[in-house]
């Protein structure tokens, strides 16, 4: 089961991204409909399909993934932004995870944010995005993925990251940034919750001054007025 550190951190980061999207929509009418169409669909199932760089998707389901959180336009097939959070992962594995998300959705997933919450070392954030490069001696483009150069002191996302071009035509590519100091605060809060839970598991229950606990009634609970039976 995921730890309280893991769960709390993901919830805080997801809520912060949603808040920033809504703020952009309130500040700029041009993007309001778009930002309101983006939802945090949490760790729901993602079916990734086999992909050939020259032939496209083969249609075969290659993998089932449940990312830690994901942001999807209501009319899109796939989320545009994925977040993966790990307590201990090496950089190569995080890169492979990003590659799968981008390659096996034919770039429908635009950006993959990989966050490694190391307890012994400094935590790291890496951001991967889809890109294209020309194939030698052809007029075709090949899909690649690359790590984004980190902006000083902040995680920066753009509206175009959240959906394919067909969903954001005619709107400006506004951005928002979450300072790394703010991300560190989220992690500190999440770790405090975990420490408190660990203490509760290790220590004797604290008396709250109650004399006892009433026994549960033997009778069946009454139905709520107007309640339909299942």
For residue 86, name the pLDDT band (cuts at 50, 70, 90): confident
Q: In the chain, where are the structural domains located?
A: 4-192
For residue 223, name the pLDDT band (cuts at 50, 70, 90): very low
The token pair that represents 47 in the structure block: 């079916």
Nearest to 45 by CA among 72, 18, 14, 13: 72
Contacts of 153 (CB under 8 A, 6+ apart): 179, 180, 181
**Claim: this prediction has a pTM higher than 0.85:** no
Nearest to 158 by CA among 15, 13, 24, 10: 24
Percent of the residues in the chain that have a pLDDT greater than 90, as a whole number: 35
For residues 105 and 112, the answer to whether their CB atoms sit within 8 Å is no
How does pLDDT run across 140-182, given as a tens digit for each residue? 666 666 677 666 789 999 999 999 999 999 999 999 999 999 9
């Amino acid at each position: 089961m995921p730890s309280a550190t893991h769960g709390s951190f993901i919830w805080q980061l997801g809520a912060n991204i949603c808040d920033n999207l809504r703020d952009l929509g309130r500040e700029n009418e041009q993007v309001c409909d778009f930002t309101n169409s983006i939802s945090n669909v949490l760790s729901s199932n993602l079916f990734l399909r086999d992909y050939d760089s020259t032939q496209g998707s083969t249609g075969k389901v290659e993998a089932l993934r449940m990312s830690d959180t994901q942001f999807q336009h209501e009319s899109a097939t796939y989320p545009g932004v994925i977040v993966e959070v790990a307590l201990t992962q090496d950089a190569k594995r995080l890169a492979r995870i990003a590659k799968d998300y981008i390659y096996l959705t034919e770039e429908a997933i635009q950006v993959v944010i990989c966050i490694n919450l190391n307890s012994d070392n400094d935590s790291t954030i890496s951001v991967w995005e889809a890109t294209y490069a020309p194939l030698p001696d052809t007029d075709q483009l090949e899909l690649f993925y690359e790590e984004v150069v980190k902006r000083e002191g902040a995680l920066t996302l753009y509206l175009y990251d959240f959906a394919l071009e067909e969903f954001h035509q005619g709107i400006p590519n506004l951005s928002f940034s979450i300072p790394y100091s703010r991300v560190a605060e989220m992690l500190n809060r999440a770790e405090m919750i975990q420490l408190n839970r660990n203490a509760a598991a290790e220590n004797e229950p604290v008396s709250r001054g109650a004399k006892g606990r009433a026994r549960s009634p033997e009778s069946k609970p009454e139905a709520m007025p107007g309640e339909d039976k299942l």
